Amino acid sequence: MGKYKIAYIDDEKGELLDFQEFMGSDFDTIALLPKADIHEMVEDLFQLNTRAVIVDHLLSVYKKKGKPNIPYDGVDLVEEILSKKALFPCFILTQKETEAIESSKDVNFVYSKRIITTHDEKEKTIFKEKIRTQIEHYLKRIEDGEKELKKLLNKSKSKKLNAKEEERLLELDHFIEQSTNKKSSLPKRLKESTGLKKLDELIKNTSEIISELKKGK
């Protein structure tokens, strides 16, 4: 198994280097300075096929000469990522834990930035394992959903699905779309109103989603 590709975003180049050194060879770590436009930043992350994103909480505490002003923080970036890819593994590093926790919708995203410089090897290992575990759980959930969806689609070709199976098929399709590109998903209520009349189109779209999931690692 190859190393998972992850990204770390920070507005300080020294912090980027420190994080890469901290992660060592355990992950394929890409260090990125934040872009002024949050949408461009998220698009770059997805284009890189990263499996997790770790971001500094305060990306632009003070506007520095020669540097673009960053109008968003780490919490904003994580929320934007999750609005496009539900359940995507994200972590926020901060020196001000209380402030980050108060502004985040999920406290489980927030970790102390001192983890980068700690001499406690056990603490370092635990943090890295949390990243790895989150990635593997995310990929496994999508993989399991994909398998169940394909099984139901194949069954529907030879016999009519019952109401429970049809509902499950729609739920799985909705979940996979949300996990890959949430904002382009067809609303679930619309799929329910049209039923399975366009099953061939659904099969085609599912194949395209599966192909996208298998790109990169």
3-state helix vs strand vs coil in the chain, percent to 5: 60, 10, 30
- Going by pLDDT thresholds of 50, 70 and 90, the confidence category of residue 189 is very low
Strands (DSSP E) contained in the chain are 5-9, 28-32, 52-56, 90-94, 110-112
3-state class (DSSP) for residue 197: coil
- Going by pLDDT thresholds of 50, 70 and 90, the confidence category of residue 87 is confident
Which range, of 1-5, 153-157, 183-187, 210-214, averages the lowest pLDDT? 183-187
What angle in degrees, to the nearest 10, is found between the helix axes of 121-158 and 163-181? 140
* Contact of 112 with 55, CB cutoff 8 Å: no
* Contact of 156 with 169, CB cutoff 8 Å: yes
Which range, of 65-69, 86-90, 109-113, 155-159, averages the lowest pLDDT? 65-69
**Rounded average pLDDT over 161-174:** 83
**Rounded average pLDDT over 173-180:** 77
* Contact of 85 with 45, CB cutoff 8 Å: no
Does the pLDDT at position 146 exceed 70? yes
**Rounded average pLDDT over 161-189:** 70
Contacts of 95 (CB under 8 A, 6+ apart): 57, 58, 112, 113, 114
Higher pLDDT, 56 or 166: 56
| Pair type for strands 52-56 and 28-32 | unpaired
Percentage of the chain beyond pLDDT 90 is: 42
Q: What per-residue confidence (pLDDT) applies to 97?
A: 56
Task: State how far the Cα of 84 lies from the Cα of 181, in Å rounded to an integer.
Answer: 5
- Going by pLDDT thresholds of 50, 70 and 90, the confidence category of residue 185 is very low
Higher pLDDT, 109 or 187: 109
What residue type is 3 in one-letter code? K
Around Cβ 43, how many Cβ atoms within 10 Å? 13
Task: State how far the Cα of 31 lies from the Cα of 33, in Å rounded to an integer.
Answer: 7
